[in-house]
A = this chain, B = another copy of it.
Amino acid sequence: MAKVIKHRLTFQPSGRRGYIEEGKTLLEAAQELGEELESVCGGKLVCGKCAVKIGETSFADYGIESNKQPLSPPTEEEMESLLQRGLDDKYRLACGARLCGDVVVFVPEETRRAKQIIRKSTMERAIAVEPAIKRYYVELSPPTLDNPIADSELLIAGLEHSFGLKDLSIDYPVLKELSDCLRTSKWKVTVTVWMNREIIKVEPGYVDKSYGLAIDIGTTTVAGYLCDLETGKVLATEGIMNPQVAYGEDVMSRITYTMMNSDGLATLNTTIVEAINTLIVNLTGQVEIKLEDISEVTIVGNTTMHHILLNICPEYLAKIPFAPTINSSLDIKSRELGIGVSKSANVHILPVKAGFLGADTIGVLIAEEPYNQDEMMLIIDIGTNGELVLGSREKLVSASCAMGPAFEGAHIKFGMRAALGAIEHVAIDKKSLEVRFKVIGNEGWDIPPSPIKAVGICGSGIIDAVAEMVKASIIDRSGRFNTKIDSNRLVNTNGSPEFIIAWANETSLGQDITVSTGDVREVQLAKAAMYAGSRILMSKLGVTRLDKVVLAGAFGSYVSKENALAIGLFPKCELEKVYSVGNAAGDGARIALINIDKRQEAEDVVKKVEYVELSIEPNFQNLFIEALPFPID
């Protein structure tokens, strides 16, 4: 018996090492040592995904005479594949290079099976790229008269043989096209497999790309993120209005619409599905790919948006005890929902916690991971409803409070959405009571004549305005106007005092934009609800101070943290520990798209987080009334 010669092989940067039999490829060696290398073609020198960097060797060193080189010389086929990928002679394909000496192999980031992507957030956090779908390239031997095996069995056997995939099924639409595809491609195909169990796409030849889509269905806007599922990178983003707005501005009015109209649910469902399909057309158009190229979709949204998308009657979400039809996540084929991507694509809908704590909040949670942190953290997602989550590694509690639409610009005399022409920031000089403001669409705090004139005040503007008015003693802590101040900006309309923020000539309305007594009251009601809800959650956990506050959502991105704290939108926290994280719900959808472990994390957090129904908390009303005054001296 010939003696088995082994060589010492080390993979970097993982440091995995061991003695491997001479003649094995680096790809085989990697499997043996548990080093996870990319390989779509399974070792056929086709995909080039398994390229690795070799220490100090170069092609020139592989003299045929000398057998001292640690690796077999590359074949022409391998060299061509390396050249195609623009890799120099420091690189080898792991499936081509065979071991004949001790060697150290560097695995570049793109060759690692689980890649890391960085996203901006509270802190920079790396998410491994582990999507639900993987591609496999196979070359099959066609059936013969001696062995007239069925095409699907042939394909499944090939995938098992080359990649060890077991018990694969085939989604029905794939079956319809399979025989043609295998024959036109001369039995060389790239197969997309979902969750290592279902074949959802078969494409001729070697295909290099796969795409996924993350969607955040907000009551007002719908955001889409088209992602490269190889790298985890966002290729295109787009936000559009939710056209359901035509049937009601907030979730309650939409639920009412479905109850009052026999085809109301169908109408709202069709409306959102069509909007999503428009979004998909726009996104795929931006990067010039086909709709069918999208093979996986994730969706978040509040519970009402969630139910309407699923064509589930949302009526009971509005009735005590506000129980949803389903909590857990769902995997539904795109064709069942009418979403215009690959017919066999799975749509993963993140779980919801309660009637008023939806998949959007769950998205925020898997993006912010309070359950992995030691600090006591309050997460606030402000929209028409305010969602609150408080806790840390040990425990999480959540609540939803009806804040009214003040921060969305509704019920405010000159209120408007955060759109072109909205006053988004306000500063008032404490002495002169003169006002400066910033209008969306203008660069910086312009002094008129500016390119864009003011049209109204949006949520962040109204918070600024009220906070600055308190600081300048235009209103007192209880919210009452100080009618003794000496300013021509203080006016009286129908017996009620108002304060002018923008003069008529600074607006395109032709009239002064003011903050009214009613406006101040609306802000007080909203912020007191949020504050009282936060206090209830704090008492549930027995904590009296917050280590960190995270403001999620678009509103959270634009609001002045100082002024939010100043009016008492949430309990005290050090200013530098208040973070705006933007659309964290959308981030959550994107993260769940890219990494399937995060889907499980979402399921787990739904079970872990406790939901507190504020309406039955005995102390809520009391705390709410206590929170109505402004905390500023």
Contact = CB atoms under 8 A, between A and B. Distances in A.
Contact of A151 (B147, B152, B323): B323
Given A183-B316, A310-B175, A332-B172, A327 B145 contact: no
B327 A149 contact: yes
Copies in the complex: 2
A61 to B, nearest CB: 49
A170 interface: yes
A145 B321 contact: yes
Contact of A325 (B150, B326, B611): B150
A322 B148 CA distance: 7
Nearest to A307: B179
A399 to B, nearest CB: 12
Nearest to A151: B325
Interface in A511-560: none
A421 interface: no
Interface string A137-151: 000000111111111
Interface residues of A, number: 45
A274 B140 CA distance: 37
A568 to B, nearest CB: 28
A179 B611 contact: no
A323 B143 contact: yes
Interface string A274-309: 000000000000000000000000000000000000
A316 to B, nearest CB: 5
Contacts of A355: 148
A151 B324 contact: yes
B151 A320 contact: no
Given A145-B321, A321-B144, A151 B326 contact: yes
Interface string A156-189: 0000000000000010100110111001000000
Contacts of A323: 143, 148-151, 154
A321 B179 contact: no
Contacts of A179: 312-313, 315-316, 325
A434 B342 CA distance: 70
8 contacts: A144-B321, A148-B613, A150-B327, A153-B327, A175-B325, A176-B311, A178-B312, A183-B316
